Amino acid sequence: MDVPRHLGHHEAAAELPLVTESATVTDVTVMDENRVDEVEQVVRALLDRNDVGDWYDEEEIGSDVDWEDLQSRAAEAGFSDAELDALSDLGGRFVRPYPSLLRVRVRIDDDTPFEFAPGQYATVTFDGHPRPYSIASSPTRNEVEFCIRRVPGGRLTTDLFQHLDEGDEVTVRGPNGEMVLGPPSANDLVFLATGTGVAPFKGMVDYLFDTGRNVVDGVERDVWVFLGCAWEDDLAYREAFREYDRRYDGFHFVPTLTREHHLTDWTGESDYVQRVLLKYVDDDAVDTDELRPELARFVAEPPARAVAARIDPGSVDVYACGISAMVEQLVAATRVIGVPRDATQFEGFG
């Protein structure tokens, strides 16, 4: 499947003017955590369990450690495959720059509002370097917000993470993009995201609840956000989504973390988003005999989260966003369970 970067045909988005505006940064908030101490503690315990605790002094555990060498020595010492995988994951997390995930809010300097539809993106230029980012705020809010992940070697993100501060000036050009929130309907909503692909959905969710569009004809719609990441602090806007979860019976936040179990007693979902989605589908609405066995297994598997609501593939609007290769799999999963093509919008990047 060829994932287009922008798919959909909404007149509202098409009619908005493309403008270039100067903007002032009003907030720069780090959303991830420095977990070096946690990683080191777990690695120490892992080596101690294998009676090679003296490797600490030899490897000089720290930012200069040769993690590949450490893993090679562990393999030669007979560490299990699971332990070797853990060392690889933990080493990658240890050397990851901090911070690596920012929330940036800007105020457009012009008196004219910066108009956009929920889900669109804009190009941000800082210190002469432009880069497109999904807008993570609702047009009902006074400021425009972006969710930014550090790209190793990326000139703009390096500058942003090292130098951006409140009061700085940036240029915002947009809006662009056709993956926007559709008109109100009786359908429930399912948002599928990996990493910062959740940014446009944060704006859509805010808009839904700001405008009361989570209720149609007096009936509350179920709104699902499935977000896949490696670590818990990679979950952008996790506290905002959890607050919606507490406040609204129809909102369901389902994070799934593939590596968090190395550091904590994570009891939530831990598989890929497309597989986790299947656990929350109404099995009466899906002919599991038509599914491949590896997919049918997930439909029958109980979800990690205790929630009574289930997803009817024939009565949902689905939005998917993230790395293109992953979005292909997300969309393929929705097709397999019977979500109509015209009920699906998606956007890939990277």
Rounded average pLDDT over 273-301: 87
Handedness of CA 29, 33, 193, 162 (dihedral sign): positive
Q: pLDDT band at 158, cuts 50/70/90?
A: confident
Sequence-distant (6+) residues with CB within 8 A of 125 are: 131, 170, 171, 172, 173
Q: What is the mean pLDDT of the chain?
A: 90
- Render the burial of 61-79: b for 16+ CB within 10 Å, e for the rest: beeebebeebbebbeeeeb
- pLDDT reported for residue 152: 80
Q: Rounded CA gap, 178 and 153, in Å?
A: 29
- pLDDT reported for residue 225: 99
Q: Rounded CA gap, 61 and 169, in Å?
A: 40
Q: Which has the closest alpha carbon to 149: 161, 138, 137?
A: 161
Tens of pLDDT, residue by residue over 171-230, are 999 999 999 999 999 999 999 999 999 999 999 999 999 999 999 999 999 999 999 999
Q: pLDDT band at 7, cuts 50/70/90?
A: very low
Tens of pLDDT, residue by residue over 77-128, are 999 999 999 999 999 999 999 999 999 999 998 777 889 999 999 999 998 8
Q: Which has the closest alpha carbon to 178: 315, 317, 323, 319?
A: 319
- pLDDT reported for residue 53: 81
- pLDDT reported for residue 60: 61
Q: Rounded CA gap, 153 and 156, in Å?
A: 9
276 and 226 Cβ atoms separated by less than 8 Å? yes
Q: Worst-scoring range by mean pLDDT, 153-157, 189-193, 196-200, 296-300?
A: 153-157
191 beta partners: 225, 319
Q: Which has the closest alpha carbon to 67: 41, 45, 40?
A: 40
105 and 144 Cβ atoms separated by less than 8 Å? yes
Tens of pLDDT, residue by residue over 51-83, are 988 886 666 655 567 888 889 999 999 999 999
- pLDDT reported for residue 13: 54
Tens of pLDDT, residue by residue over 238-266, are 999 999 999 999 999 999 999 999 999 99
180 and 13 Cβ atoms separated by less than 8 Å? yes
Q: pLDDT band at 292, cuts 50/70/90?
A: confident
Q: Which has the closest alpha carbon to 8: 180, 201, 138?
A: 180
Q: pLDDT band at 286, cuts 50/70/90?
A: confident
Phi, psi of 264 (to 5 degrees): -140, 170
- pLDDT reported for residue 8: 33
pTM of the entire predicted model: 0.92
